[in-house]
Structure 1
Amino acid sequence: MRIVSLCPSLTELVFDLGRGDALVGRTKFCVHPADRVAAVEKVGGTKNPKLARIVELAPDLVLLNEEENRREAAEALAAAGIPLHVSFPRDAAGTAAMVRDLGAALDARDAAESIAADIEARSARVRAAADARAATGAPPVRWAYLIWRRPWMAVSGDTFVHALLAQAGGANVFADAEARYPEVTPTALTAADPDVVLLSSEPFPFTGAHADELAAETGLPRERFVLADGELLSWHGSRTPAGVDYAAQVLGLTPQS
């Protein structure tokens, strides 16, 4: 089988399913696993893949994600007669289902089941811990998750990041925003008064200096601003098991083993 992956998290998943040797193309943003992915040809970016080159590679399957990739690219590849596997998991349960589905497509069911079952087991433990905490009358941890600067942008309730953090017992102060990734002002952040403001490592690479900047602009205590691993919280697939636990940890709600 010859595979082209146009989504970084799916590229990593292919390797973890034991099918990395079948990859003949990947995007320039596909960087994991670093020790193996460099040997796979780059075929552009997630939004602007080199469609003609992909067709030349004659893949048996091209992997896409509805959010990462453009519909036009999928339609062009389908028109060229190339089989596609398109996914868009919205939460941990959807990710487990996607992993199993891709495992079936790549004849890697056992490896897929191991990852999917791990996602489900960790999710059950995290949800149980969140339920137990709620039963004591403790309020949820109110959070905001920022992904961009200039303009500042957050995540709404219609995102994978939201689903993982909500599952852990958090409450998104911008959950009801109309846009999936709403622009927010320092004034709006101050008014929302979250318990914690998570600054993602991607797509914008937030640093401690940006936390200092936001603390000054919002007047919120500096200790509320926490740098967060964006790959663990937004790469659905191989990283989701660890991401499920990390969501609880970054909110200070680490479940007991």
Structure 2
Amino acid sequence: MQLADQLGTQHTFKKTPLRIVSLVPSQTELLYDLGLEEHIVGITKFCMHPFHLKALKTIVGGTKTIKFDKIKALQPDIIICNKEENTKEIVEELSQICPVWVTDILTIEDNLQMIHDFGQLFNKRTESRKWIDKINFAYQDFQQFIKDKPVKKAAYFIWANPHMVAGNDTFINELLQLNHFENIYTSKEERYPEVELKKIRLEGDPDYVFLSSEPFPFKDEHAFEIGRFTHHAKTVFVDGEMFSWYGSRLLKAFDYFKLLHSKI
């Protein structure tokens, strides 16, 4: 079996990989939802869904702080990484252990391609097809829901001190656009640029300021601090998993987005 990952790297497998280490939380959830729980042998400390996996699987570090010896001891057949979550250096070192499959998710189409690829890779073609069909149905339904809603300007914060936002070429920006939110920071060169709060009105004067639940745990005091520099913007705490987790989580995100629109 010869397959290419989303970076175009060609991989050859003599048989279906049975021992999987996943270094991306959202992809761990997808593997579980494809019926691969028994084949997952290692996960990160940030792999929260489903929660019981943390008690049953070996924790091999974080997404960027990997314990290579632990991974090697698990004797994996494949390691699942992501271009954004795991560094090139980590991928190169892990490649000394076994094949490393790297995903690269910027769009909903990329996400569907990943699900298709996992179906091929792990001989879960029927399961992956079902997930793709469910997501496509929900996606089309949401497009009908959102089509007449006006476009509003927004800023999506992922970190405080320094303040960082989601910029262009990110899965978050893809989902903001889907929700008819124009990201005021897409002109920045960086994908997750640092920004100055005092310039927020000059740089776009958003209608909404979204404070994500991850990776930084925003609190009321952060909302008040940012609010001092906005004019009419409404500050909204949002579930970061729904905006940034690709994989099977996207199916739940569409219902979450409908609820969000009913509240703002």
Measure, in 2, the Cα distance between the counterparts of 1:210 and 1:114.
Answer: 41
Cα distance in 2 for residues equivalent to 1:5 and 1:61: 9
Contact 1:12 1:33 in 2 (8 A): yes
Counterpart in 2 of 1:187?
198
| Number of the residue aligned with 2:5 | none
* Displacement after TM superposition at 1:127 (Å): 2.9
Instruction: Provide the residue aligned with 1:232 in structure 2.
Output: 242
Give the distance between the partners of 1:199 and 1:147, measured in 2 at CA: 7
- Counterpart of 1:250 (choices 245, 249, 260) is 260
Map of 1:120 onto structure 2 = 136
Describe the SS at the equivalent of 2:153.
strand
Aligned amino acid, residue 12 of structure 1: E
Q: 1:166-245 to 2 correspondence within 5 Å?
A: 166-191=177-202, 192-215=204-227, 217-221=228-232, 224-245=234-255
| Distance (Å, rounded) in 2 between the aligned partners of 1:114 and 1:37 | 26
**Residues 1:58 and 1:83: Cα distance change in structure 2 (over 3 Å):** same
Letter of the structure 1 residue corresponding to residue 134 of structure 2: D
Q: Does 118-127 or 235-244 show the bigger shift?
A: 118-127
State the AA in 1 paired with 2:182. A
Partner of 1:101: 117
Task: Report which of the two has the higher share of helix.
Answer: 1
When normalised by structure 2's length, the TM-score is 0.86
SS of alignment partner, residue 190 of structure 1: coil
For structure 2, the residue ranges without an aligned partner over 5 or more in a row are 1-17
Q: Deviations over 1:37-76 (max 9, x none)?
A: 3210111111121122212211111111111011112112
Aligned AA (2:216): F
For structure 1, list consecutive stretches of 5 or more residues without a partner in the other structure: none
Give the partner amino acid of 1:20: E
- Cα contact 2:159–2:215 (8 A) shared by 1: yes
Give, in angstroms, the shift of residue 7 of structure 1.
0.7
CA contact (8 A) 2:19 2:76 kept: yes
* 2:166 paired residue number: 155
Distance 1:83 1:120 in 2: 30
State the Cα deviation string for residues 128-158 of structure 1 (Å, max 9, x = none).
444444xxxx4x1111100000011111121
> What's the counterpart of residue 142 of structure 1?
153
Task: Say yes or no: does 1:68 pair with 2:80.
Answer: no
Distance 1:157 1:126 in 2: 22
- Quote the offset at 1:162 in angstroms: 0.6
Q: Is the 8 A contact 1:43 1:49 kept in 2?
A: yes
The CA distance in 1 between the partners of 2:173 and 2:32, in whole Å, is 27
**Partners of 1:96 and 1:116 within 8 A in 2:** yes
Counterpart of 1:110, as a letter, is T
Give the Cα separation in 2 of the matches to 1:161 and 1:252. Answer: 20
1:245 CA displacement: 4.1
CA distance in structure 2 between the partners assigned to 1:14 and 1:20 by the alignment: 7
**Letter of the aligned partner of 2:164 in structure 1?**
M
What is the aligned-residue identity percentage? 37
What is aligned with 2:36?
19
Quick one: which amino acid aligns to residue 11 of structure 1?
T
Aligned partners of 2:45 and 2:54 also within 8 Å: no
